[in-house]
Amino acid sequence: MKKSLKKSAVMLSIGTAAILTACVTINIYFPAAAAEKAADKIIDEVWQLKQGQQAPESTPADKTSEPKPAETTPAEAKPTDTPAK
22 lies in the site for another protein, by CB under 8 A: no
- Tell me the backbone φ, ψ of residue 37, rounded to 5 degrees: -60, -45
Stretch of 11-19, 63-71, 76-84 lying at the interface with another protein (CB under 8 A)? 11-19
15 lies in the site for another protein, by CB under 8 A: no
Least Å from the CB of residue 63 to another protein = 22
**DSSP category for residue 1:** -
Q: Are 39 and 31 in contact (CB under 8 A)?
A: no
- Of 28 and 69, which CB lies nearer to another protein in the complex structure? 28
Distance in angstroms (rounded) separating the CA atoms of residues 7 and 67: 82
